[in-house]
Every structure is written in C-alpha cells, then in structure tokens.
Structure 1
Amino acid sequence: MRSPLSTPPAIPAGALAADPQPVLTATGGLVLRPWVPSDAAVFFAAYQDPAIRHWHTRQPASEAQVRDWFEDYRQGWEHEKGASWAVTCGNEVLGRIAIGSLNLDDGVAGCGYWVLPAARGAGVAPRALTAVSTWALDKAGFHRLHLSHSTRNDASCRAAVKAGFRLEGTKRSEAIHSDGRHDMHLHARIRGDE
C-alpha cells in the first residue's frame, strides 16, 4: 500500500482517463490522433528505416506485434501510464509522438518522437512536440516534461529546442543505441516557460 502524500497530487488519479485520449492539432495542418489498427503497416515500415532503427532499440517484429503495441497504448491511456499519437496530415501518417513515465503526483512526464523519412526537414517533430507539450502543461495539468536524445542526434536536439525544451545537461553513457552506449542530452519544458 502506498503511503499518503504530504502534498496533493499535481494531477488527481483518474483525471486523464476520465476522457478519451485527445486528438490534438498543430500548426501546418498536423493532427495528432490515437493509433488505429489500419496504421500497423506504416508503423511497422517506419522501423525498417535505418535512422529510426538506430535511435529506437525497441522495435516491432511484425505488423501483428504493432497491433499489440497499439492495444498497449490504448490501455496505457486508460491506466494513466502514457499516450502515443500518430502524427498525421490529411490521411497520411508522418510520425509518432508519445508521453510516458507519467508521474501524476509530481506532474512530470517524458516525451519521445520519430518522423518518417519522407516528412523529415519540414518541422513535423517540433510542431507535434509543441502541440503535445502545450496540451500536457496547460490542459492536462503536468508541470514538467522532459526528453533525452543522444548527443549525436542533432536533428532530435533541434526539434526539442524549437519546441521550447531547454537543454539542461548531459547524462553520461546513459543509453544504448545500435552502435553502443551514448551520452544523452536532457531537455525539459516546464509550465510557464516562454
């Protein structure tokens, strides 16, 4: 049994799951929506891209496993553990953005994202990250969002900074990518950041 908090939780248990996972909009016509089973093929194909495979070591083995992941995402929302969105424009999936490691007591969550090769360089990641962080910090009640990326992943660093995530430091040898251990940059955005 958990000990009671000496302060009220930043986000009361049940507050997020009381409503369906939101559909969010971002500049440039982007729509962030929950994944649906018909997205499995494009999601699986994304993990055939060498860059996505390099930076994301957890990879699906089949479209059937992707559909299982989508169900995990749905349950993650219901149990207030995380949320994952397809980043779309029109009917086309351009990428993925997610929040996870939710700590509702402290109002803290982590963010992650990837963009399909054909959509890179068009500002998809920073626009999607801005939309998710604006929703999370303003409407959902989070106080701090953070993300980490390899110090060698310049594109992810640019996306984080453009979305208002300030660089806070370097975590030495924190993560494993396809070529071994990497130092990771830590970025964060807190409620009230300009």
Structure 2
Amino acid sequence: MPFLTDPVLTAGAFAAVPQPEIPTGDGLLLRPWQASDAPAVYAAFQDPLMHRWQLRAADSAHEVRGWIEEWRGEWATARSVQWAVVDAGEGALLGRVALHHIDLVDGVGEIGYWTVPAARGEGVAARGTSALARWALDEAGFGRLELTHALGNGASCRVAAKCGFALEGTKRSAVLYTDGRQDVHLHARVRGD
C-alpha cells in the first residue's frame, strides 16, 4: 500500500555528504567529534551534575573513545547525529549538541545537549542549540525539533525558552533516571518559528 505523502528527508541524505561544521556566529563552533576529545569528555562525565541529568556514565577515556567512534558513525545512518561544541579560536571542548530520535519520514528530531562544568553559565548550551536548530530547520530540511528535559532541570528549561522552543506540555513518568521515573517537559520548535 503506497504512502500518501513523501518522506520529508530521504534515507542516505546525510551519508552522501560529510558532517558539516556549524559556526554559532559568536565564537563557538559545532564540529564532528575527534578521538582526541576522549579525555575531555571523560573528565566532563565525572561531574556529579552530569550523573544527575545524563543517562550514561564513563568509566574510562578508553570507553569514551568507543562512544566517539559510535558518534562519528551515526552521521551516515541519520538515526542520531552529534557535534562537539568548541571554542572557535582555541578549540577547547565546551559541550555537545545532538539530534536524537530522528524520523526522516516526518522530518522530526529531538535536540539534546550538555556542557562541561567550566563552561556552565556561559550560554554554551543555548548558543550551540540555536546553531543546530537553524541548521536542522533551515538547511537540512527538518520540519520540527523537540527538546525534552526533566522538570527539575530548570537550566535546561531556560535553554529551551531562550532558543525559541515553545513549551507544549508535560510527559508524565517519561524517563528513568538514577532516582526513579521523572516527568519531563516537552518543548518544540518548528520551521518558521
């Protein structure tokens, strides 16, 4: 039975081109991950706040190198794509932004991010998220981007609002964190917002 609509994005569209570097326009750069980022990612994941809001722990820089290999390979599959957020001048790792749960047929993805402890409060998450949203909606062709965060994560709620992601509601008991199931806010930004 044929579908009545065409896919918004075609399978293999990402694999046909290299993963782009995306400048934020204000001193940061989103770039593909490099193996040399592993020690900085490992150090970031030792922070207690990362343990609070991320669903993964890092036991060694060697383990993180494996993550980075996975992250680099995800571009070709277009299921999830990730960028390192770095200082455009010095190249220091400041955080990560990503599109997860990509649905090519509907042109929908979910944005995720984190920042290294030393970069918190500097607008890194918001600047990286805004740049990624512009690329995804204006260049890649996505029609809708979602952003979810635990209700207790007020900093992520402020990032979502600052980046133009409208609060659409609460998903009850949606994510399992180390302290149990948590309600999450659902924010979204669509092309034309």
- TM norm structure 1: 0.95
One-letter identity of the residue aligned with 1:156: S
Q: Distance in 2 between matches of 1:64 and 1:147?
A: 30
Superimposed CA distance per residue, residues 47-68 of structure 1 (whole angstroms, 9 cap, x where no aligned partner): 1011111101222322122111
Give the superposition deviation at 1:6: 2.1
Correspondences of 1:114-125 after superposition (within 5 Å): 114-125=114-125
Within 2, Cα distance between the matches of 1:137 and 1:88?
Answer: 22
SS of alignment partner, residue 79 of structure 2: coil
- 1:13-28 equivalences under 5 Å are 13-28=11-26
| CA–CA distance in structure 2, aligned partners of residues 150 and 178 of structure 1 | 12
**Matched residues, percent identical?**
51
Aligned length: 191
RMSD: 1.1
| Cα separation, 2, equivalents of 1:30 and 1:183 | 32
Unaligned runs of 5+ in 1: none
Cross-structure match for 2:59: 61
Among residues 78, 84, 93, which one is paired with 1:80 in the alignment?
A: 78
Distance 2:3 2:82 in 1: 29
Instruction: Kindly report which structure 2 residues correspond to 1:177-192, keeping only aligned pairs within 5 A, or say none.
Output: 177-192=177-192
Alpha-carbon shift at residue 44 of structure 1 (Å): 0.8
Q: Residue 5 of structure 2 aligns to a residue in which SS?
A: coil
Q: Are 2:169 and 2:187, in contact at CA under 8 Å, matched by a contact in 1?
A: yes
Amino acid paired to 2:172 = R
Residues 103-142 of structure 1: pairs in structure 2 closer than 5 A: 103-142=103-142
In structure 2, stretches of 5+ residues that fail to align are none
More displaced stretch, 102-111 vs 174-183: 174-183
Kindly indicate whether residue 151 of structure 2 is the aligned counterpart of residue 148 of structure 1: no
Which of 36, 47, 68 is matched with 1:38 structurally? 36
- Residue of structure 2 equivalent to 1:173: 173
SS where residue 28 of structure 1 aligns? coil
